[in-house]
Amino acid sequence: MNKEKYDVIIAGAGPSGLAASLTLSAYGISHCIIDANEAAVPKPGDALPPTSKPLFKQLGILGLLESKKHIPYYGNKSIWGTNIAHQKEFIENKHGHGYLLDRLHFENQLRELVQEKQTPFYKKHQIKRITQNEDQLEISMFHNSTKPQLQASYIIDATGRKASICRHLGIVKEEMDQQMTCTFWHESAHKIERQIWIEATENGWWYLSPSSDNKVNVMFFTLKELIPKKSKMPAFLKKELYKTQEIRLIIKPTDKELSDHKIMPSGTSYLKKPYGKNWLAVGDAAFSYDPISSYGITSAIASGYYGAHAIASQLHNEKDAFLSYHYIITNGANSYVQKLTHQYAMEQRWPDSYYWKNRLVKQE
Ligand SMILES: Cc1cc2nc3c(=O)[nH]c(=O)nc-3n(C[C@H](O)[C@H](O)[C@H](O)COP(=O)(O)OP(=O)(O)OC[C@H]3O[C@@H](n4cnc5c(N)ncnc54)[C@H](O)[C@@H]3O)c2cc1C
């Protein structure tokens, strides 16, 4: 069978995989992208803090944020650790305002940039097997009723939180906690200020952000053990929402909106070592952040960028390139864990709550 050959295969076309592809293209390194889905899929998470702008500039993608679908936002309002609302304005930030992304549009914008570079893109392909032959990897896939095969020197795992490629290689991520998110959209009758609301309650915390079309993205973060069965979820969310001071005054979700919720993991998980002889993990596959940090998208793009640099260096026989990449990931992760621990320790109002008692990040 004819096998297409590349220097690098990128598995996963989220922000990290696409950033890696743009970086490899800049080096002129032959590569392809494989994604399990036919098209970009809607994802939760829209907040891009102002501090992400230098990275976007470096990658040449800052202009994407000018689309009217992404809306500037000017700060956060939080009720956390005290009953008094705290306002943080970005006016003090040297990078200016942040953005609330139209996530689907953003990922389609990145995909268009990658496709402009004529990068081969295997959509709706499932990876079946990865085998190591001397210095080459052989990748067998499923696509409809066919079984295409590829060959490459390196594979990048950019498959997100599940780190599917690492699983194929028998490597499992460590989990720091079991936080889950219940998310739904609310159609607002009136315009909502361009800021993010965060409010801690007894069993978790709420997140609320406006989108460009009077819709509001609402999320409730709690622990797996506190989530009831599906039929009881709308009543649970209503009850938890009623415990907020401000958010319940901003939104009045309908029963349908509450029933249309989605639940997904949102805790911290990481690979002890995000690389091996001929693979490297980027984005959520390497390190998944708690969304309270707003680090996810920025860090996914940064690690895609640095990961691709590491592979380019490795292809030029720079032996320590993966080690340097590991160092960059570890540095970011250490600073995140410190900030996260501090953030959760600030909330002491419910000492007997299961959520808050189990919230302090466990470190080795
Ligand atoms: C509830 C929640 C709220 C969040 N809020 C924010 C926020 O406000 N701000 C922020 O910055 N971050 C936020 N995040 C985090 C952010 O969404 C992620 O960090 C980011 O999407 C990671 O990008 P990625 O490219 O690593 O992975 P993903 O975006 O998950 O992309 C993975 C890609 O891999 C593909 N794939 C999966 N498995 C395979 C496979 N086996 N083979 C081939 N392809 C595969 C998928 O189709 C997908 O295209 C949030 C996350 C959650 C869960």
Binding site membership of 353 for ligand 1 (Cβ less than 6 Å): no
Q: What percent of the chain has pLDDT over 70?
A: 98
Residue 88 pLDDT: 84
Query: Mean of the pLDDT values across residues 162-183?
Result: 95
Question: For residue 130, how far is the Cα from the chain centroid?
Answer: 25
pLDDT in tens, 49-90: 999 999 999 999 999 999 999 999 988 999 999 999 998 887
Query: Mean of the pLDDT values across residues 309-331?
Result: 94
Residue 360 pLDDT: 64
Looking at ligand 1, which residue's alpha carbon is closest to its atom 12?
Answer: 296
Lowest mean pLDDT among 17-26, 93-102, 215-224, 235-244: 93-102
Structure tokens belonging to residue 96: 């200016």
Q: How confident is the model at residue 361 (pLDDT cuts 50, 70, 90)?
A: low
Q: Which of 298, 269, 267 is nearest to 47 (CA)?
A: 298
Domain borders along the chain are 4-42+103-174+268-341
Ligand 1 pocket, mutate which of 35, 107, 195, 298 (most atoms under 8 A from CB): 35
pLDDT at 164 over 90: yes
Cβ atoms of 152 and 7 within 8 Å: the answer is yes
Calculate the average pLDDT of the chain: 93
Binding site membership of 127 for ligand 1 (Cβ less than 6 Å): yes
> How far, in Å, is the centroid of ligand 1 from the Cα of 157?
12
The dotted CATH code for 4-42+103-174+268-341 is 3.50.50.60
Binding site membership of 36 for ligand 1 (Cβ less than 6 Å): yes
Query: Mean of the pLDDT values across residues 175-192?
Result: 90
pLDDT at 26 over 90: yes
Binding site membership of 157 for ligand 1 (Cβ less than 6 Å): no
Binding site membership of 132 for ligand 1 (Cβ less than 6 Å): no
Q: What is the pTM of this model?
A: 0.95
User: Burial level of 274, CB count in 10 A (0-12/13-18/19+)?
Assistant: buried
> How far, in Å, is the centroid of ligand 1 from the Cα of 18?
12
Q: How confident is the model at residue 125 (pLDDT cuts 50, 70, 90)?
A: very high
> How far, in Å, is the centroid of ligand 1 from the Cα of 348?
31
Residue 1 pLDDT: 61
- What is the b/e burial string over 306-343, where b = at least 16 CB atoms within 10 angstroms of the residue's CB? bbbbbbbbbbeeeeebbeebbebbeebbeebbeebeeb
Query: Mean of the pLDDT values across residues 202-229?
Result: 93
Q: What is the DSSP letter of 364?
A: -
Cβ atoms of 253 and 240 within 8 Å: the answer is no
> How far, in Å, is the centroid of ligand 1 from the Cα of 351?
33
Binding site membership of 290 for ligand 1 (Cβ less than 6 Å): no
Helix (H, G, I), strand (E, B) or coil at 16: helix
